[in-house]
Structure 1
Amino acid sequence: MSCADLFRLFCWPPLPSRIAAKLAFLPPEPTYSIIADGDSPDLRLHLSERAEFQFSDPDKASLEVFLAPTARGNNIACMMAKVNPRSRFTLLFSHGNAVDLGQMSSFFIGLGRRLNVNVFGYDYSGYGASTGRPLEKNLYADMECAWNQLLTRYKLQPESIILYGQSIGTVPTVDLAARYKVAGVILHSPLMSGMRVAFPETQRTWFFDPFPNIEKAPRIQSPCLVIHGTDDEVIDFAHGLTIYERLPKPVDPLWVVGAGHNDIEMFPQYLERLRSFLYSELDALRPVAEASAVESDNNSDSPTSNSS
């Protein structure tokens, strides 16, 4: 990056939103549209060939799509892959920076079937059929909107929701997980902050540093699984390792030896680790958490407790 590029990036003007937009957001040409379904009030998904959908038309019809308004005045596209209506968990999936829901639709169905979970995804402002611009503040509002859809539209409880963020999607995921307790959190190729990606020698979080995951991760109170490839060419492995070390409630991470930024899902240990996290570790952690809560309540009710 030249001196002129650095000047334009940080000094014209030095706004975090401009830095974030230039460094992180790469919305593709939309691979889908959301259209009216005849005379029905429902909407349906229309995929272009570039979406490379790998399943049948009935599978496509099973994807529920709609638009939802955010607190910042945008309408974001939402997609629910309801693989099993009685599934215990729903993943709230925040995707990477260069894809949209059309390209993710096949992955959602495949992942849901392999893990026996429902998968809910959304497009960031300025991506796919979502309105607005891809900005850091919009990113947080988009995630909050998606979260609220699960709670209100689908009547889900936080203890049945797993937050899953991939790459830039770890940014809104960490932000939400730092404010709400959920069943679990999965951070797939997380970044420490925008400046630390662009300038690896950065040792502190500056006031204009976008996406400060490193500052928010210590506030995540849910069990958290970190996944990262050791040969990641986009977000260095050191980012995942440092985030893991800052978490209050980490589980054993998955460091995929030889994996890059976009191929972790191709390694067999990826699904194995996710299954273990969802159906073994979370069950094992739940009684401990409940017992701790009961003990805390009992202590607070004790007449000898200090209530100053």
Structure 2
Amino acid sequence: MFSISELCCMFCCPPCPGPIAAKLAFQPPEPTYKLTPADDANVKYNLHLFERAEWQYSERDKSKVESFFTRTSRGNLITCIYVRCSRNAKYTLLFSHGNAVDLGQMSSFYISLGTQLNCNIFGYDYSGYGMSGGKPSEKNLYADIEAAWQALRNRYNNQVPKTTAVSEQNDIDVRFNISPETIILYGQSIGTVPTVDLATKHEVGAVILHSPLMSGLRVVFRNTKRTWFFDAFPSIDKVSKVKSPVLVIHGTDDEVIDFSHGIGIYERCPKAVEPLWVEGAGHNDVELHSQYFERLKRFLSIELVK
């Protein structure tokens, strides 16, 4: 049950979705990378990682990462990276990262994830994160992922670059065939919010929701049973419209987004597969458990090909 103070806060002076969103989610870190133009047309950029990015690979591996900017429908210029991890990848993961990180910090993980899953990874920074312009907001989240989706589809589908230097250097085929059924949307924590929203608009190969939240108010007030008009991030009301297969992953000891959120999202998914509940895992260590990669591999290599 709600306390008297909580009820007064909700009904006497209900908050707006924007402040809820800002309080819950938006903590962009100090940028851990920068981009510099790699050509006169400003089509491609060189990625420079700062020490805080904790890059775990060689300079040669960094050449697998293509960086560029794209503009959202709300006018913000956001950073995107395409990580070519495999020359025979069937799927590309459109990855929406969690809070308090940017693409620089995620780049090593993207290479590790893509290599183990035999996938390529497309990542982007939300407005106000990394080198992306604008400010973080719920509306910008939805515009950011839509711009990332369009950039992935338009820039890479069936393209053969004029030079194969990158392919020869990394032994990776640069010929792409990125159609909706070969794209898997992967959202982690706050990244599940734009992921669910995009998945209601486009039927894709699959959706992975890692530590998802049902809504902003439900994170603050765990006993909330319905979505109020002033709530933010109402994924619980959208996820039932997702037509693609959905894998939900959540740690049972999540101290940021309670485990009940993962259960609630899973129960609303029409095409949910067997979820992964990681016993004893918190909010930021699910990936450290062996069953994490095992479950993802089974989902991509077995369940999606049936």
Structure 2-normalised TM-score? 0.88
Confirm or deny that 1:219 pairs with 2:241: yes
Stretch deviating more after TM superposition (217-226 or 37-46): 37-46
Q: Is the 8 A contact 2:205 2:244 kept in 1?
A: yes
Structure 1, unmatched stretches of 5+, are 285-308
Measure how far apart 1:15 and its partner are.
2.6
- Give the letter for the 2:269 counterpart: L
- Counterpart in 1 of 2:260? 238
Amino acid at match of 1:29: E
Determine the structure 1 residue equivalent to 2:174. none
In 2, the alpha carbon distance for the partners of 1:11 and 1:251 equals 41
Higher normalized contact order (CA 8 Å, seq sep 6+, divided by chain length): 2
- In 2, the alpha carbon distance for the partners of 1:126 and 1:105 equals 18
Alpha-carbon offset, residue 7 of structure 1? 9.4
- Tell me how far apart the structure 1 counterparts of residues 7 and 37 of structure 2 sit (CA, whole Å): 45
Q: Is the 8 A contact 1:9 1:19 kept in 2?
A: no
2:147 paired with 1:145: yes
Per the TM alignment, residue 61 of structure 1 is displaced from its structure 2 partner at its CA by: 1.9
Which position in structure 1 is the counterpart of 2:162? Answer: none
Deviations along 1:82-101, one digit per CA (max 9) or x if unpaired, are 11243100000000011000
Partner in structure 2 of residue 97 of structure 1: 99
Counterpart among 39, 43, 48 of residue 45 in structure 2: 43
Aligned twin of 1:114: 116
2:93 match: secondary structure: strand
Residues paired across the two proteins, number: 282
The TM-score, its normalising length taken from structure 1, stands at 0.87
Counterpart for residue 273 of structure 2: 251
* Runs of 5+ unmatched residues, structure 2: 158-177
Is 1:158–2:158 an aligned residue pair? no
Q: Aligned match of 1:170 in 192, 202, 214?
A: 192
CA apart distance, 1:201? 1.5
> Which digits, 9 at most, give the CA deviation of each residue in 1:176-227, with x for residues without a partner?
1111111100000000000000111211100110000100010010000000
Moved over 6 A (4+): 3-13
Work out whether residues 127 and 134 of structure 2, in 8 Å CA contact, stay in contact via their aligned partners in 1: yes
Shift of 1:18: 2.3
Describe the shift of the 1:38–1:148 C-alpha distance in structure 2 as closer, same or farther (beyond 3 A).
Answer: closer
Provide the C-alpha distance between the structure 2 equivalents of 1:196 and 1:100, rounded to a whole number of angstroms. Answer: 26
Preserved contact between residue 101 and residue 121 of structure 1 (Cα < 8 Å): yes
Q: Cα distance, 1:4 vs. partner?
A: 11
Q: Any idea what SS the aligned residue of 2:142 has? A: helix
Give yes or no for contact 1:9–1:18 (8 Å, CA) kept in 2: no
Conservation of the 8 A alpha-carbon contact between 1:227 and 1:240: yes
Q: Give yes or no for contact 2:245–2:272 (8 Å, CA) kept in 1.
A: yes
**Structure 2 equivalent of residue 197 of structure 1:** 219
Share of identical aligned residues, percent? 62
Q: Secondary structure at the match of 1:225?
A: strand
Aligned to 2:88: 86
Equivalent in 210, 219, 226 of residue 232 of structure 2: 210
Q: Which residue identity lines up with residue 256 of structure 1 in the other structure?
A: V
Aligned partners of 2:39 and 2:148: how far apart in 1?
26
